[in-house]
Amino acid sequence: MAAPRLQSQITTESHEQVRRLLQLLQSEPIAGVRNLHPAYCSVLIKFDATLLRHEELQETLLGCVERMKKVALPEPRLIEIPVCYGGDFGPDLKDVAELHGLTPESAIKLHTSTTYRVYFLGFAPGFAYLGELPAALVAPRLATPRRSVRAGSVGIAGSQTGVYPIATPGGWRLLGRTPVAMFRPDRAEMSLLAIGDRVRFVAISREQFAKLENA
Amino acid sequence: MSLIEVRSPGLLTTVQDLGREGFGPMGISPSGAADPVALRIGNRLVGNSESAAGLEMTLLGGTFVFPERAEIALTGADFRATLDNERVDLWCSAEVRPGQTLRLEATHAGARCYLGVRGGIVVKLFLGSASTHLLSGLGGFEGRALRKGDVLKIGTAGGGFRTFRKRKVTVKALEKLAPRKTLRVTAGPQGDWFSRAAQEVFYKTTYRVREESNRMGLRLEGAPISAASGGEMISEGVSLGAVQIPASGLPIILFVEQQTTGGYPKIANVISADLSSLGQLRPRDEIRFELVDIATARALLVERENLLASRELILG
């Protein structure tokens, strides 16, 4: 395990560095490296210690950090995610709005008015950490996480937002739900989102939700 | 193709191989056998490649009927297995005659017993692996633990049947590979965020494994560790065996179905050579942590791998 910290701050610059390093390590794999876990401002590199020594890998990685400046990143994709806000889909929408003295409608407007960046995928298959949430929506995690959050639930935590791809326990405050599958093992691109993508949420009605869910 | 009929699944029985590495960027953790050494040896005993899929049973084993001849091996924890009421030894290959019933009971020691079968268990691979990832319902047999009435397919890899000869893991090797209760760890990425006093508590406390432990993580109880004070923790990649200290101060060891990233500081990381021991920990087991340096951790892994590759491992 080696985790070269690129910059201990969540900035778009550190994010781009993470993407460059990830792209370099994926396009030119290092023998013995088994897995990569990108995050906000670090990449955890898992390797087989019988094939590689820490010092060797560290040296190779220092070379990568030098070379990654030249890695060109592709134009980000923009992906729209339809969300039905409030009601039992978004049980925390009212609380979040109240916390900031907003109406639920203006909270929805804020959530849908921002283009988010996929900082990385982590936690569970297809779970994308999206940021930055407008300051007027920032809210802490629930004091007690829910035992189960339905797949497709759209939540916020701190200045992050994201969609639960599968039913899991979770402590994010839920604003709504999307009928779109975030992760499907039978799809060529299993995960709807990838690191570096841009995301916009689009408010839809209950009827539209039902239609899309059955599509 | 030969089959295995599940008459009773046991408490939690899943199809596992050595997991799927390389999908961290998608948020997918490897899963795989909780005690990979036991799975690997079981495969070796029946002449499979080490990475073939077998069954992982947890605390209480199942009952399985083999309509056709098969060669099997049970490895890991002792679940007092019988084949048509005759005792089957652990860490040996065994021949199953058509129609025989393999029955396993509750664990005698350890947490997980592996059933390896010549040819391996065949399921549709997900991202190149047969491993079940229970949390996400991916891989393995329909993405879930086995149920009564399930029918598993046995593969023909390795050339199908062979003349049976009993193969057995040597006593010497088993002694060296015995699961440990004192887990050796290297310092975690935030190890130095914890005060000297907090670290002392961590390395001196005997922790007990809590009931809520599972393949995602082992939750411990014992003396809590005072909060880290090294800075603002930003979510980062987390490794198998990472020892996280959440707000409660009670350590959580990340296990095979771990989340791929996390935001708790990590005081230590269980060394690769001792990860298999985690797979044999039962609720209420008592464990301790012992700090080693990275060179020692690597030497212990190399020593273990050399033993697994050596002629000293298996007789027959």
% of chain B surpassing 90 pLDDT? 91
Tell me the average pLDDT across B231-260.
93
Whether residue A2 has pLDDT greater than 70: no
**What average pLDDT score do residues A114-133 get?**
95
* Pairwise CB contact (< 8 Å): B136 & A125: yes
Given B27, B137, B305, which is nearest A50 (Cβ)? B305
Domain ranges, ordered by start, for chain B: 3-169, 182-309
Domains and CATH numbers, chain A: 12-70 (3.30.1360.40), 78-214 (2.40.100.10)
Q: Chain A within 8 Å of B135 (Cβ-Cβ)?
A: yes
Would the CA dihedral through B63, B64, B69, B74 be positive or negative? Answer: negative
Considering only CB atoms, which chain A residues are within 8 Å of B26?
121, 125-126, 190-191
> What is the rounded average pLDDT for all residues in chain B?
96
Q: How many Å apart are CA B174 and CA B153, to the nearest integer? A: 30
- The pairing of strands B242-244 and B252-254 is antiparallel
- Distance between CA atoms of residues B289 and B274, nearest Å: 11
Tell me the shortest Cα–Cα distance from B130 to chain A, in angstroms.
Answer: 14
Q: Are strands B109-117 and B100-103 parallel, antiparallel or unpaired?
A: unpaired
pLDDT of amino acid A61: 96
Nearest CA in chain A to B238: A44
A9 vs B209 pLDDT, higher one: B209
Q: The tokens 């610059």 sit on which residue?
A: A13
Q: Give the nearest chain A residue to B135 (CA atoms).
A: A168
User: A41 to chain B: which residues are within 8 Å by CB?
Assistant: 234, 236
The answer to whether residue B30 neighbours chain A at the CB level (below 8 Å) is: yes
* pLDDT, position B60: 98
User: What is the amino acid identity at position B199?
Assistant: Q
Burial class, B200, CB count within 10 angstroms (exposed 0-12 / middle 13-18 / buried 19+): exposed
Mean pLDDT of B231-236: 82
Facing residues of A167 across strands?
A: none
pLDDT band at A5 (very low <50, low <70, confident <90, very high): low
pLDDT at B232 over 80: no
Domain B182-309: CATH class, spelled out? mainly beta
Q: Which residues of A touch B (CB under 8 A)?
A: 1, 3, 8-10, 22, 26, 34-44, 46, 49-50, 53-54, 120-127, 129, 166, 168, 183, 185, 190-191, 194-195
CA separation for the pair A110, B1 (Å, rounded): 58
Mean pLDDT of A169-194: 95
Model pLDDT for residues B62-101, shown as the tens digit of each residue? 999 999 999 999 999 999 999 999 999 999 999 999 999 9
Cβ atoms within 10 Å, residue A213: 14
pLDDT of B110 reads 97
Q: Do B235 and A122 touch (CB under 8 A)?
A: yes
Q: Write out pLDDT tens, residues A183-207.
A: 999 999 999 999 999 999 999 999 9
Report chain B residues whose CB lies below 8 A from the CB of A185.
Answer: 126, 138
pLDDT confidence of residue A80: 98
Q: pLDDT tens digits, residue range B138-181? A: 999 999 999 999 999 999 977 777 889 999 999 999 999 999 99
Residue keyed to tokens 């089957």: B88
